[in-house]
């Protein structure tokens, strides 16, 4: 199934150049964690996840057509 | 003439009284904390507590706006107090040289806590203290062009640890740039005032993610 993905802030460099969103083919019942792995986002990184505008997590199970935004939490001050 | 004259039309008489009687604790007097303290003093709050155990270093001076070259090696909290006191605008400033820990005692007159720390481990400590004292906590964080802000209120919102994930951070040096720090610190002050005034359109149960590189702002319902 296909989902639409946007990566933000420091993760943006993992997006294809010149694009601000991408369509990604994932397995049925894939989680955000599976998607992150597919996108080469390090496993040990905390992520803030938005699925169809709502707060999700690495464990959120995706459905076809979902819009997924992934943000790295920023901790400097 | 009162120096607050130009902001008075924005608030009711009752709201102005709340602001001028409020006490805010700023946890961390680095980039976010120095900008927040300046703003809170200009807004005319009654009292600010500044807590930090660190001393000023050269690399702080690109964004920690209450310090100069001659302050290197001094403790941040009392030096920030000294800079603020020179403006003589009426806000009482109390400096506390202490690292935030489970033993930290929050003074009983505090109405609001601003997060101006620079790592999540200390922030989780701060949020449990704020919860213990039943105080709202305005979280902010930055990294290069990016920032995030949300409000944590015990029993009303998810905790910061729930929002962020709570994994252990790596100890990389985080790029920090004064104009970005200033935007996030100002948003925290605006949000903190809305919370003590009980105004709607606040960031309870909402996470604001700001990218000042491409000017995108994302809001996530929590």
Across the range B86-115, mean pLDDT stands at 97
Cα B159 from Cα B141, distance rounded (Å): 15
Whichever domain contains B179, its CATH number is 3.40.50.720
Q: Tell whether B222 lies on the interface with A, counting CB pairs under 8 A.
A: yes
The C-alpha atoms of residue B141 and residue B116 are separated, in whole angstroms, by 8
pLDDT score of A53: 86
Which tokens belong to B153? 């209120």
Whether A50 and chain B come into contact, CB under 8 Å, resolves to yes
- pLDDT tens for B183-195 read 999 999 999 999 9
The yes/no answer on whether domain A2-71 falls in CATH 3.40.50.720 is no
Give the pLDDT confidence score for residue B144 in this predicted structure. Answer: 95
Q: How confident is the model at residue B165 (pLDDT cuts 50, 70, 90)?
A: confident
Query: Could you tell me the residue range of the domain that residue B130 belongs to?
Result: 5-221
Residue B6 tokens, joined: 């130009």
Residue carrying structure tokens 């996470």: B207
Question: Given pLDDT bands bounded at 50, 70 and 90, which one contains residue B170?
Answer: low
Look-up: residue for tokens 């992520």? Answer: A47
Total domain count for chain B? Answer: 1
Residue A45: the pLDDT is 86
A-B interface: how many C-beta pairs under 8 angstroms?
93
Return the residue of A nearest to B28 by Cα: A77
Give the chain A residue whose CA is nearest to the CA of B119: A75
pLDDT at B50 over 70: yes
Q: What pTM did the predictor assign?
A: 0.95
The interface predicted TM-score (ipTM) is 0.87
Confidence bin at B169 (pLDDT 50/70/90):
confident
Contact A3, A23 (CB under 8 A): yes
Contacts of A46 in chain B (CB under 8 A): 120, 164-167, 169
Percent of chain A with pLDDT over 90: 75
Q: Is A44 on the interface with B (CB under 8 A)?
A: yes
CA distance to partner chain A, nearest, from residue B177 (Å): 10
CB B185 within 8 A of CB B138: no
Shortest CA gap A28–chain B (Å): 25
């Amino acid at each position: 199934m296909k989902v639409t993905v946007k990566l933000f802030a420091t993760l943006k460099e993992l997006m294809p150049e010149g694009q601000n969103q991408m369509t990604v083919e994932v397995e049925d019942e894939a989680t955000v964690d599976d998607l992150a792995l597919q996108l080469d986002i390090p496993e040990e990184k905390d992520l803030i996840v938005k699925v169809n505008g709502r707060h999700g997590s690495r464990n959120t199970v995706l459905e076809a057509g979902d819009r997924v935004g992934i943000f790295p939490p920023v901790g400097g001050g | 003439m009162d120096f607050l004259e130009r902001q008075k039309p924005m608030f009711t008489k009752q709201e102005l009284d709340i602001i001028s009687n409020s006490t805010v604790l700023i946890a961390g007097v680095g980039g976010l904390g120095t900008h927040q303290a300046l703003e809170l003093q200009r807004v005319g709050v009654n009292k600010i507590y500044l807590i930090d155990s660190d001393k000023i270093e050269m690399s702080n001076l690109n964004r920690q706006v209450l310090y100069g070259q001659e302050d290197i090696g001094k403790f941040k909290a009392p030096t920030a107090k000294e800079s603020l006191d020179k403006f003589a605008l009426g806000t009482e400033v109390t400096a506390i040289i202490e690292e935030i820990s489970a033993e930290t005692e929050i003074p009983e007159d505090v109405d609001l806590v601003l997060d101006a720390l620079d790592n999540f481990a200390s922030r989780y400590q701060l949020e449990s203290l704020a919860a213990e004292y039943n105080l709202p906590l305005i979280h902010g964080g930055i990294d290069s062009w990016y920032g995030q802000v949300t409000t944590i209120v015990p029993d009303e919102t998810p905790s910061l640890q729930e929002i962020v994930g709570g994994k252990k951070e790596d100890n990389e040096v985080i790029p920090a740039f004064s104009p970005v720090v200033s935007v996030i610190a100002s948003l925290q002050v605006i949000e903190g005032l809305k919370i003590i005034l009980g105004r709607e359109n606040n960031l309870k149960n909402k996470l604001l993610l700001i990218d000042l590189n491409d000017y995108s702002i994302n809001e996530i319902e929590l």
